Structures are given as C-alpha cells and as structure tokens.
Amino acid sequence: MAGEFPLIQKESIRKKLTKVKKLIVTGATGGIGSEIARLASANDYKVGLIDTDEEKLTSLSKQINNSVPLLADVTSEESIKTALNNFSEIPDALVNCAGIVRYGSLLEQNPEDFTKVFEVNLLGCFIVSCAVVKLMVKNNSGTIVNVSSISGGKHPAIGTGAYAATKAGIVMLSEQMSLEWGKDGIRVNAISPGFINTGMSAPHYKDNQERKKRESMVPIGRLGKAEDIAKVALFLLSEDSSYIHGENILVDGGVMNTVLSNISRN
C-alpha cells in the first residue's frame, strides 16, 4: 500500500526510537553474572560490568556488545561511586550477583573468613544498591534483582561457613528494600538459584558420582544452567513482571519441594 514502510524498515525505525536501558551487574565475571550480562546485551541493554578481576573484566567486556568494564570493589562505597561515575548514565536496573564462599564447618571458620563473606555477599549488596538507588530516584523508576541461594533463601547447607547466613540476609534485605523504595518507583526482588552447574558450584560437578547424585535429587531431572537464572533475572527486570515486588523466586528445578518425598508411606 502506498505510504507504507517495508516491514524491515519499520523494525529499524522502532529500534532507533526505543530507549536503550542501562543495567549494572556486580560479580560480572562469574558464571551467572556474565550470563545475565550477555542476555541483557542481547536484549538491547547497555551493561556496566562490575568486578575486581581486571583481566577477566576486560576480556568479558570485549565479548559483550555495548558493555562497560567497571573495575570496582563492592565492599567499598568510594569504589562503587567511582564506577558509577565512570558508567556516566543513570542505571535503569541493577543485578547484585557478587558473592564468595569460604568452605568449612562453623568451628573451622575464623572471624576473618566469616567477615569477608559477609562483606562481599551482604554488605556489598547494601552498598551497591544504595548507591544506585540514589541515582534511580531521579527518574522515579528502577528495578533491582538480588541473587541469593537456596542455601540461604530456604535452607542452610553445612560446611559453607557464613554463606547461608549472608544469602538469607539478602532475602530479608530485598524485602526491606521493596518496602522502603517502592514509593520511589523502584521494584526489588530476589532470586534463589538451586544446583547450578557454573561458577562456585561447578567444581562439585566434576566428580561424576556427585553430579549424578545431585541430578537425581532434582525433580525436573537435570542440573541448572547459568542461562536458567539469567532468563528469570531478565524477566524480573522487564515490564512483564511489573507487579512482582518484594519476592524471592526459587529457580531450583523443584529441589526444595522434595523433603517429604523421602518419607515412606508404607
């Protein structure tokens, strides 16, 4: 029909008129963090990559279109402020994915190990979120996703030191953020991944026997992948989840529902 643009030209114009959203990802070089960054970039986000490993950060940024490497320590308020200044734009979204673990029983933990895990996992989530929200309020909008774990979001795992406590703290912190920041147009949710074959968990699955054992515990019959978490994160950042606020979403293949399945009914 006369006056009509070809479909491909319409699509090109639509993309040009669409506002590019800005996302900050902490722990960006980790298995889950890097997958979230890749998927966000593929969905037209400009992505700020925050991590402390300069070599990995530089390499990752070269792989991801429209990304900015931001060398920073989530436990340092000044470091994060500098990183956000270098990003030079107000973020529309934040994913707090930075996390560490110090394995060993509680009696084997020393205060330094416990404190370090607390600082990165929980204090870091607080520091980065507050710094970003102070920018987001200028636009009266924003979305935050905090990555917790089934080890803290639901049940602790033995031999993981402070990890479970910090991840449980992230769930409660996310709820508090949602209550305090919702009035500013900022949505906050958490994700609790299950048995994910990437990042810190990957070494557990190198042993074939251990891998099969864990797979057999998952009702859906497989280990999770980084992209399973990334897809949920992008959903929570999108308008499709605009009425989900203050929730902790389990992404575990159903493993947290299996307790009673181990009890005989005979």
Catalytic residues: 163
Spacing of C-alpha 197 from chain mean position: 15
Query: Distance between CA atoms of 54 and 16, rounded to whole angstroms?
Result: 33
Contacts 24+ apart (CB under 8 A), 17-20: 18/44, 20/44, 20/45, 20/46, 20/66
Residue 40's nearest CA partner among 91, 100, 85 is 91
- From start to end of the chain, where are the E strands? 21-26, 45-51, 67-71, 93-96, 142-147, 186-193, 248-251
Contact 246, 178 (CB under 8 A): yes
CA distance linking residue 32 with residue 61, whole number of Å:
15
Q: Is 66 left (phi over 0), alpha (psi -120 to 50) or beta?
A: left
